[in-house]
Amino acid sequence: MAYGEFVVQRDLNFIVNRGDVFIIMGGSGCGKSTVMRALTGMQRPSAGTVWFEDARLWDLDDSARQRVLRRSGVVFQSGGLWSSMTLAENIELPLREYTDLDPQEMRELARLKLAWVGLAGFEEFYPSEISGGMQRRAGVARALALDPEVLFFDEPSAGLDPISSRRLDELILELKDSLGATIVVVTHELASIFTIGNNAVFLDPVSRTQLATGDPKWLRDHSDDPQVRAFLNRGDAA
């Protein structure tokens, strides 16, 4: 991944398995968001590709790539909600674009997705009328609108209080269990990494490549890379 001549990360090679909660981890500025943008179709790698099952994402034409990407959902940090629309309308937006459900069915689905994230009864609220943690969860409901098989989160708990962030971690685990979704999370927060992650890649800003991939708990205790162990054994571990 590069910006012009500036290489952010090179020689990456990791596999996200179906059903994983996969953590992209590493210090600030190492390229986590950039790598996630390659996985979600938003930024073309300057070399290499991303496989989605047997499809090579970056070798497909735009419309074929969009078809593959419709099987994944992205949760944006701000929630990615339109402030002029109610929560239900926000969730109906992708349904209107990609399905031929009637308004009644769309409303029913919006209600269901909001209930999944603990926001039953908030259909008619506007984003500004709910807390930051609730907005984040409404963003999850929106990402769930089209029943994605893979859900991507970039620093989901950034800016949230500890209780809201813990609730978001719980929600991520619930989605994995109840929907059988595969989840990819960018985070550097150890409490989250160990609570939700079963697989991970560690990106290093100095060598600009991955130093390890695997179960973060295992890496914490057994990685042969001192930087990976140091990162995973920082003092703020939960």
Ligand X SMILES: Nc1ncnc2c1ncn2[C@@H]1O[C@H](COP(=O)(O)OP(=O)(O)O)[C@@H](O)[C@H]1O
Residues that bind ligand X (CB under 6 A): 3, 8, 28-34
Of the pair 41, 156, the CB lying nearest Mg ion is at: 156
Output the smallest distance, CB 203 to ligand X, in A: 7
Smallest distance, Å, CB 45 to ligand X? 13
Smallest distance from ligand X to CB 79, Å: 18
Residues that bind Mg ion (CB under 5 A): 32-33
Answer yes or no: are the C-beta atoms of 156 and 80 closer than 8 Å: no
Tell me how far apart the alpha carbons of residues 161 and 170 are, in angstroms, rounded to a whole number: 14
Tokens of 124: 């008619």
Look at residue 74 and give the partner it binds from ligand X, Mg ion, none, a contact being a CB closer than 5 to 8 Å depending on partner kind.
none
The token duo for 31 is 């390229």
Say how many C-beta atoms besides its own lie within 10 A of residue 151's C-beta. 22
Identity of the residue, 3 or 82, whose beta carbon is nearer to ligand X in the bound complex: 3
Residue 34 binds: one of ligand X, Mg ion, none (C-beta under 5 to 8 A by kind): ligand X
SS3 152: strand
Q: Which does 28 bind (CB under 5 to 8 A by kind): Mg ion, ligand X, none?
A: ligand X
Minimum Å gap between C-beta 33 and ligand X is: 3
Question: CB-wise, 106 or 156, nearer to Mg ion?
Answer: 156
> Smallest distance, Å, CB 105 to ligand X?
38
- Contacts of residue 128, Cβ cutoff 8 Å, sequence gap at least 6: 83
Residue 41 and residue 53: Cα distance in Å, rounded? 15
The sign of the torsion formed by the CA atoms of 82, 88, 92, 94 equals positive
Residue whose CB is less far from ligand X, 88 or 211: 211
Contacted by 98, from ligand X, Mg ion, none: CB < 5 to 8 Å by type? none
Q: Could you give the CA distance from residue 88 to residue 86 in angstroms, rounded to a whole number?
A: 5
